[in-house]
Amino acid sequence: MTIPRLLLAIAIAVGLYILGANTDRLRTGQIIRSARAAWEHPEAKKDRKRLQKISKKNAKKITKGIYD
């Protein structure tokens, strides 16, 4: 393989790597936006509050059971 062909192959490989990295970054941004939207959804907020109340109530029961 001659030097110009080797340099061309390396340039193509680097270019494809850069394109792939950019695509991954864009997809990661989409995933993060979707996760935030799901986290901030009104139903999710309501469920988190409900689960927090349940866990506090159960934590009191568990603590009482341990120290009694």
21-36 tens-digit pLDDT: 888 888 888 999 999 9
As for how many domains the chain has, the answer is 1
What angle is formed at CA 61 by the lines to CA 67 and CA 47, rounded to 5 degrees? 145
**Terminal CA-to-CA distance of the chain, rounded, Å?**
81
User: Which residues form the domain of 32?
Assistant: 3-67
Write out the two tokens for 28. 């990661």
Percent of the chain with pLDDT over 70: 97
Which of 26, 59, 28, 63 lies closest to 36 in space, CA to CA? 28
Q: Does residue 1 have a pLDDT over 70?
A: no
